[in-house]
Structure 1
Amino acid sequence: MTTGLPVPLPRLATGLLLLLSVQPWAESGKVLVLPTDGSHWLSMREVVRELHARGHQVVVLTLEVNTHIKEEDFFTLTTFAVAWTQDEFNRLVLGHTQLFFETGHFLKRFSRSVEILKNMSLVVQRSCVGLLHNETLIRHLNATSFDLVLTDPVYLCGAVLAKYLSIPAVFFLRYIPCDLDFKGTQCPNPYSYVPKFLTTNSDHMTFLQRVKNMLYPLALSYICHTVSAPYASLASELFQREVSVVDILSHASVWLFRGDFVMDYPRPIMPNMVFIGGVNCANRKPLSQEFEAYINASGEHGVVIFSLGSMVSEIPEKKAMEIADALGKIPQTVLWRYTGTRPSNLANNTILVKWLPQNDLLGHPKTRAFITHSGSHGIYEGICNGVPMVMMPLFGDQMDNAKRMETKGAGITLNVLEMTSEDLENALKAVINDKSYKENIMRLSSLHKDRPVEPLDLAVFWVEFVMRHKGAPHLRPAAHRAAGLGNGFLSVEGRMPLSTPVLEPAYPFMT
C-alpha cells in the first residue's frame, strides 16, 4: 500500500479548482449569450470560444444591426429585427465619437453628450421591447431549455430576459455606471474610500475629493434613471407587478468582473462577485511578416504602439498634426492605428496602419511604450505585457482607468483636448527613459500573472459551476431580502429611550 504525506487543505482546494478549470464538464450545457456590442463583446467572445471548446452549445442572441458581433464557427448566431438600418446606426455611433474631440463650453458639450446618450439608449431600449414581445422567438428560447444566460448587464435586456425565462444568469462586465453593480449585489459601497464613476478619485481621498465622491452620483442620477428606468417598466409589464432595476440585477447567480485588484483599488465584495482580471491577454499569436519587418527595422530604439480603439476612426486635422509632430521627435518607430486623413507633417518614423495586432505587438520585447485611450482591454494588455503607457482617455471609464494606472506609477495621463505637441513628446520620453515606469508596470504584470487559475479558465469555471448546480443561491446574501431597508440599517419596532446612544452611518467626510 502506498502512503504519503497529508495534503494541506488550501493546496488541495487549489488543485481541485485547477483540475475543474481545465477539464471539460462531463455534460454538454446550453448557454444563451446576450452581449453588449462594441469592445465589451471582445472579452466575452473569448469566454464563448472557450465554452464551445469544452463541448457546450452556445447561442449568441443580438441585434441584427451591430458593429462587432458577426457569425463565427464557435457559436450559433441568432439576430432579432430592429427599426433602423446599419447606416443610421453608424451615424449615431459617429456622432458619439465626434464628441470626444469637441471643444467649447463644458455645459454645451455635456448637454450634447446627454442628448446623444439618450438617443442611443432609446434605440437599444426599443430593440429590447421588440425582443421580449416577439412571441415566436420567446417560445423558441423556452423550448430550447437553456441551462444558463451569460450577459453583460450594461445592456439590461439580457438580465430581463434571464429573469423572464427563469434561467440562472451569469453577468460578465467591467462594471455598471451609477453604482448599479453595488446595488444589484447588495454590496457595501463606502463613499470614504471607494471612488465613484467619473470622479477620477483614488482610494486615498482628501476632504474635497470625498465631497466630490458623494455629489457625482447625485449629479448623474437623472441620466441613470433615463437609461435604466424603461427596463424596469418593461419588466413590470411582463411580470404584472412592480419590478425595479435592482430586482432585475439581483437575479444574477454570479457576477464576473473583468478586472482585479492589480488594476482596481481594494474594495468590499460579496460572495457571488468574482474578479477575474484580463481575459484577453493570453491569446498571443506570432506577428505577420509585415509587422515583424517594421519592428526589425526599428533598430535599438524599438517601437511605440499607438491606438485609440476601434471607435475612433478619425481625429480633427489640427489635433492629428499636433500628435504627428510629437511622434516625429522621438527616436522610436511608431505604429499608429489610424484610418483618417494622413497628417501632412507625418514623420518618417511613423507608420499608419488600418489595423494592428495590439496584444501581439505589445508582447514583443522591442516595444517601448503604448499610447492608449485607456479602455480596459488595452490597459490589461499593457499590464500583461509589461509596457508603460501614455494614456489619452476619451469617455466613460477610461478616465478612471487612466487615473488608476497613473496612481500606480505605470503611465502618464494626458487630456487629449488640451495637450500640446510638447506635452505628448515629453510624456513619451518620460515613460520610455525613466526606468521607474517600466519597473512599476512589470511589478503589476507579475502580480496579475501570479494566480492559481488563468482569468479565462476562472470565468469558464464559474459559468460551468452555475450550470452544474442550477444557480448559486448559497452565495446570495440575505441583504437581498431586506433590500428595502437599506444596507447597514436596522428595522426595529418600538420605542427607544432617549438616553440610548444612536449610532449613525459613517459619512464620506469621516476618516
Structure 2
Amino acid sequence: MMVRIPGVFLFLLVMTWSFLTGPSVHAGKILVFPVDGSHWVNMNLMIQSLHSRGHEVTVVRTSTSWYVKERSPHYRSITVTLPQANLIEEEDFFLNFLVKMLEIKRHGASPVVFVKFYWEMLTALSKIHKDGSLLVEEIFENRTLLQSMQDAQFDVVLLDPGVPVGVLVANKLKLPMVFNVKWITSGEGHFVAAPSPTSYVPTSGYTVTDKMTFLERVKNNLFYVFNTWIDKLIVCSHYDRLMDKYFGPDVKFYHLLQGADIWLMRVDFVFEFPRPTMPNIFYIGGFQCKPSKPLPTELEEFVQSSGEHGFILMSLGTLIKALPSEITSEIAAAFAQLPQKVIWRHAGQRPNNLGNNTLLVKWMPQNDLLGHPKIKAFVAHGGNNGIYESIYHGVPIISIPLMFDQFENALRLEVRGAAKLVDVAKLTRQNFLEAVREVLNDPSYRNNMKRLSALHRDQPMHPLDTAVFWTEFVMRHKGAAHLRTESYKMPWYSYHSVDVLCFLLAALITLTAAVVGSIRFICLRLYRRRKLKHE
C-alpha cells in the first residue's frame, strides 16, 4: 500500500536532512578588526550572523571608538587605549573637511589655497594610518595582550583593510585572513587583488564610466599613478616602519595585504561596472539588506497621512550629521513645495523654510522605511549602505554626493537611469526641486530601479549567507591557499612580461640580423663570382 506524505512534512524532512548532512564547522573563534563609522554597521551584521552560528567573536577596538561598543551580546571586546583619539573618531573631522571642500568648489580658489587644502587632506590621511600603526605597536609591545591573543587559539581573523591594522596582527599570530572589504589603503580593493586594466576599469577617485574616451583613459592612468604614489609615500610608510621593526626587511607590507585567503567584496555587478576577478574574491554587495518590518506607530501614522502622494526619505549617512545651514534651508524650501510628506534624518540646527509636510528625526529605521509601499524616492548622499538598500527595495534616488566614493556611486546609478545627481556646491531650492520632481514624475527612474532590484535579488544565496559560508570555509580548512594567487610576489617586470617581451625582441633582432647578414654574405659571394667570370 502506498503511503502519501503531506507536502509540508516532506519539506521539513528535506530541510532537516540537508541541515544534518551539509558542511559543518565547529564553534570557532574569530578575531575581528573593524573600521569605525559606516564600515562598522556592515561588520556588525556579519558578527551577529557568525555569533548566531555559535562562533565566539572577539572585536579589537580603541577606547575612543564611535560605534564599536565595549559590551555587546554578540561579541567580547579587547579595548586598546591610544595616546590620542584616531582622527576619524573625532566628531567634526568629516564636517570640517566638507565645509572646506564646498568653499573651494563654490567660490573657486587660488592655486595656493587649493594646494594648502590638498596638503591638509594628505596630512589627515597620513595621520589616520599613523594612528593605525600606533594601534599595532600598542598590541605588539603589550606582551601580556599579545600572549593572550596567541593563547586564545583563534581560527581566523576577519578584518576591514581600509585601515589594515589586523593584517599585521594576523600575520604575527600566523592566522588566515578574511577581508570584509571594498576599500584598501590605495583605493578600491580589486586593484591589488585582481587584474584591473585602466583602459576600462575606472580608477578610485575618478568619476567616469567604463566606456572612456581617449582623453578619459589618459586621465584614468594618471589617477592610477597618482593614487599609487600617494599610497606608497603617505600611507604605507607607516606600516613599512612596522615591517622593519617586527617582521624584518625581507617581508613586504603589501605582500601581507595581498595574501588574504578570502576577499568578501561589498560589491554587486548589478551596480558596479564589469571587471576581471579572482577565485578567492566573493561578492556580498547588499548583504545588509533584508525585508522591511512594520514601522513604529508614530512613523506609520505620519506615513499614512501622506495619502496617495506617498512620502520621500532623506538621509546623509553616519559621517555627516548635517549640511551647512544655507544648504539645508534651500532643501527645506524645496520640500515645502511638494505634496509628498518628507522624513528627514537631521541632527543639526533646524533648517529655515521648513514646511509642515517635513518631519525631522535624529534616527530612523531606514531599511523599513525604504521597504514601505508608500515610499516614492530617497534623497541620499550615495553611501554604499543606502545605495544597496535602495536597490533591494527598488526605490529611485536623488543623490547629493558629498565626499569619497559617493560621486562614483551616484554616477553608476545615474548611467543606469535609476538616480538623479545634484551637485551640493551648486544646490538651490529650484534645481533641487526640479530634480526631485523629475524622479517622482518620470516612471523610468522607478522602473529602472525595480529592474536592478529584480537582478540583485535573483541570487542562489543571500549575500550575508555567502559571507558566513566562506568565513567558515576558511575556518574548516585552515585557510584557502588553493584559491589565492601569489602573482603579487613576482617582480613587476615579470608580472607584466616585460622580460619576455625584451627576450623576444632581442631574439627577433638577432634573427633579423642573422638573416640580413646571411643574405648580404650570399649576395657578396655571388657578386664576386660574377666579377671573376667577367674578368
SS in 1 for 2:473: helix
SS in 2 for 1:370: strand
SS in 2 for 1:496: helix
Name the residue aligned to 1:190: 197
Once residues 362 and 125 of structure 2 are traced to their aligned partners in structure 1, the CA distance between those partners, rounded to angstroms, is: 28
Name the residue aligned to 1:508: none
Name the residue aligned to 1:28: 27
Name the residue aligned to 2:508: 497
Change (3 A) 1:374 1:165: same
One-letter code of the match for 1:230? H
Decide which moves more: 438-447 or 120-129. 120-129
TM (norm. structure 1) is 0.89
One-letter code of the match for 1:65? T
SS in 2 for 1:364: coil
Name the residue aligned to 2:54: 55
Once residues 384 and 465 of structure 2 are traced to their aligned partners in structure 1, the CA distance between those partners, rounded to angstroms, is: 19
Please list the CA deviations of residues 17-60 of structure 1 after superposition, one character each: whole Å capped at 9, or x if unmatched.
x9689968341111000001110111111111011101111101
Please list the CA deviations of residues 247-272 of structure 1 after superposition, one character each: whole Å capped at 9, or x if unmatched.
12122100000111011000000111
Please list the CA deviations of residues 315-346 of structure 1 after superposition, one character each: whole Å capped at 9, or x if unmatched.
22211111111111221111111111112211
Change (3 A) 1:45 1:206: same
Decide which moves more: 440-449 or 212-221. 212-221
1:291 aligns with 2:292: no
Once residues 337 and 486 of structure 1 are traced to their aligned partners in structure 2, the CA distance between those partners, rounded to angstroms, is: 52
Change (3 A) 1:77 1:157: same
Conserved 8 A contact 1:175-1:257: no
Change (3 A) 1:480 1:121: closer
Could you tell me which of 330, 350, 357 is aligned with 2:358? 350
1:197-346 alignment to 2 at 5 Å?
197-225=204-232, 226-282=234-290, 284-346=292-354
Once residues 32 and 155 of structure 1 are traced to their aligned partners in structure 2, the CA distance between those partners, rounded to angstroms, is: 16
Once residues 209 and 327 of structure 1 are traced to their aligned partners in structure 2, the CA distance between those partners, rounded to angstroms, is: 37
Bigger radius of gyration among the two: 2
Could you tell me which of 125, 128, 135 is aligned with 2:143? 135
Could you tell me which of 431, 448, 463 is aligned with 2:456? 448
Conserved 8 A contact 2:199-2:217: yes
Name the residue aligned to 2:81: 81
Name the residue aligned to 2:478: 470
Deviation at 1:400, TM superposition (A): 0.8
SS in 1 for 2:175: coil
Higher relative CO (Cα under 8 Å, sequence separation at least 6) belongs to 1
1:44 aligns with 2:46: no
SS in 2 for 1:252: coil
Once residues 22 and 123 of structure 1 are traced to their aligned partners in structure 2, the CA distance between those partners, rounded to angstroms, is: 47
Change (3 A) 1:388 1:91: closer
Deviation at 1:371, TM superposition (A): 0.5
Once residues 460 and 480 of structure 2 are traced to their aligned partners in structure 1, the CA distance between those partners, rounded to angstroms, is: 22
Could you tell me which of 364, 369, 393 is aligned with 2:372? 364
Could you tell me which of 428, 445, 450 is aligned with 1:420? 428
Decide which moves more: 487-496 or 262-271. 487-496
Once residues 195 and 508 of structure 2 are traced to their aligned partners in structure 1, the CA distance between those partners, rounded to angstroms, is: 29
1:438 aligns with 2:449: no
Once residues 486 and 128 of structure 2 are traced to their aligned partners in structure 1, the CA distance between those partners, rounded to angstroms, is: 36
Deviation at 1:422, TM superposition (A): 1.2
Gaps of 5+ in 2: 3-13, 513-535
Name the residue aligned to 1:409: 417
One-letter code of the match for 1:207? F
One-letter code of the match for 1:364? H
Conserved 8 A contact 2:265-2:283: yes
Conserved 8 A contact 2:163-2:184: no
Name the residue aligned to 2:91: 90
1:163 aligns with 2:171: yes
Decide which moves more: 76-85 or 433-442. 76-85
Name the residue aligned to 2:529: none
Gaps of 5+ in 1: 3-14, 502-511
SS in 2 for 1:498: helix
Conserved 8 A contact 1:195-1:202: yes
One-letter code of the match for 2:200? Y
Once residues 22 and 53 of structure 1 are traced to their aligned partners in structure 2, the CA distance between those partners, rounded to angstroms, is: 20
Deviation at 1:222, TM superposition (A): 4.3
Decide which moves more: 376-385 or 227-236. 227-236
One-letter code of the match for 2:286? G
One-letter code of the match for 1:329? Q
Q: What is the count of residue pairs matched by the alignment?
A: 486
Please list the CA deviations of residues 300-328 of structure 1 after superposition, one character each: whole Å capped at 9, or x if unmatched.
11110000111212222211111111111
Deviation at 1:487, TM superposition (A): 3.1
Change (3 A) 1:384 1:20: farther
Please list the CA deviations of residues 398-418 of structure 1 after superposition, one character each: whole Å capped at 9, or x if unmatched.
111111011111001111111
Once residues 239 and 93 of structure 2 are traced to their aligned partners in structure 1, the CA distance between those partners, rounded to angstroms, is: 21
One-letter code of the match for 2:258? S
One-letter code of the match for 1:302? G
Once residues 498 and 306 of structure 1 are traced to their aligned partners in structure 2, the CA distance between those partners, rounded to angstroms, is: 66
Deviation at 1:112, TM superposition (A): 3.2
Decide which moves more: 280-289 or 319-328. 280-289
One-letter code of the match for 1:373? H
Conserved 8 A contact 1:21-1:457: no
Higher helix share: 2
Once residues 509 and 311 of structure 2 are traced to their aligned partners in structure 1, the CA distance between those partners, rounded to angstroms, is: 71
Please list the CA deviations of residues 253-298 of structure 1 after superposition, one character each: whole Å capped at 9, or x if unmatched.
0000011101100000011111112111116332111111110111
Please list the CA deviations of residues 138-159 of structure 1 after superposition, one character each: whole Å capped at 9, or x if unmatched.
1110010100000011111111
SS in 2 for 1:224: helix
Conserved 8 A contact 1:21-1:461: no
Decide which moves more: 99-108 or 415-424. 99-108
Once residues 227 and 305 of structure 1 are traced to their aligned partners in structure 2, the CA distance between those partners, rounded to angstroms, is: 37
Change (3 A) 1:117 1:26: closer
Decide which moves more: 36-45 or 94-103. 94-103
1:383 aligns with 2:382: no
Deviation at 1:245, TM superposition (A): 3.2
One-letter code of the match for 2:347? T
Deviation at 1:449, TM superposition (A): 0.2
Change (3 A) 1:21 1:153: farther
Deviation at 1:476, TM superposition (A): 1.5
Once residues 21 and 223 of structure 2 are traced to their aligned partners in structure 1, the CA distance between those partners, rounded to angstroms, is: 43
Conserved 8 A contact 2:136-2:168: no
Deviation at 1:204, TM superposition (A): 0.7
Conserved 8 A contact 1:125-1:231: yes
Decide which moves more: 481-490 or 36-45. 481-490
Once residues 53 and 498 of structure 1 are traced to their aligned partners in structure 2, the CA distance between those partners, rounded to angstroms, is: 66
Deviation at 1:121, TM superposition (A): 3.2
